[in-house]
């Protein structure tokens, strides 16, 4: 099993994140806030920019960074900072996540506008969502825990897309 990046590497990733923000400031002629950088992302994504109201942050996956450190420093960091810059410039207005505005920021960073990170992730911890057995008149289904909980609380009903029958929980 791969170990996550160490404190020194985390500091280097944070510094690189701030360097790209400074590069955007220089290229665009305006200031951008330094936002929190977290290393709590798991699963198959190497990085993620998030905004919730006035708060924004960038999350990185420390296990994927450990396995492909240099590639992520040169690819994932500018990718996520570009999302932040586009969000800071355009706010809640609808812009495509990897649209022309994002590509222009990536060009400013002289970074490859690669959208996906497709590498071997063996040894990287993966999230696995539990599923729950449901049934309709024509077949069996697996519902996510989120949907299962909605059904159990009486807040949701789901139907088969083939026979339109209601999905009913099947005790395992």
Domain tally, the chain: 2
Instruction: Please identify every residue annotated as catalytic.
Output: 80
pTM exceeds 0.85 for this model: no
Residue that is written with structure tokens 């969000």 in the block: 87
> Same structural domain for residues 54 and 90?
yes
> Same structural domain for residues 100 and 19?
yes
> Same structural domain for residues 79 and 136?
no
Task: Tell me if 124 is assigned to some domain.
Answer: no
What is the per-residue pLDDT across 108-156, written as a single tens digit (0 to 9) for each? 999 999 777 677 777 777 766 788 999 999 999 999 888 999 999 999 9
Residue 75 to residues 40, 70, 143, Cα–Cα distance (Å):
18, 8, 35
- Domain containing 151 equals 131-169
Task: Tell me if 65 is assigned to some domain.
Answer: yes
CATH of the domain at 70: 3.30.2010
């Amino acid at each position: 099993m791969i170990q996550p990046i160490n404190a020194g590497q985390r500091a280097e990733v944070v510094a690189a994140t701030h360097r790209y923000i400074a590069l955007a400031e220089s290229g665009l002629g305006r200031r951008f806030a330094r936002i929190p950088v977290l290393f709590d992302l798991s699963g198959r994504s190497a990085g993620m920019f998030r905004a919730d109201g006035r708060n924004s942050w960038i999350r990185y996956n420390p296990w994927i960074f450990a396995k492909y450190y240099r590639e992520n420093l040169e690819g994932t960091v500018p990718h996520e900072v570009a999302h932040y810059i586009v969000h800071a410039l355009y706010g809640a207005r609808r812009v495509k996540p990897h649209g022309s505005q994002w590509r222009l920021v990536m060009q400013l960073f002289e970074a490859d506008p690669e959208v996906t990170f497709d590498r071997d992730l063996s040894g990287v911890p993966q999230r696995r969502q539990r599923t729950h057995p449901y049934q309709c008149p024509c077949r069996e289904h697996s519902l996510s825990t989120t949907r299962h909980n909605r059904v159990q609380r009486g807040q949701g009903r789901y139907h088969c897309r083939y026979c339109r029958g209601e999905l009913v929980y099947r005790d395992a």
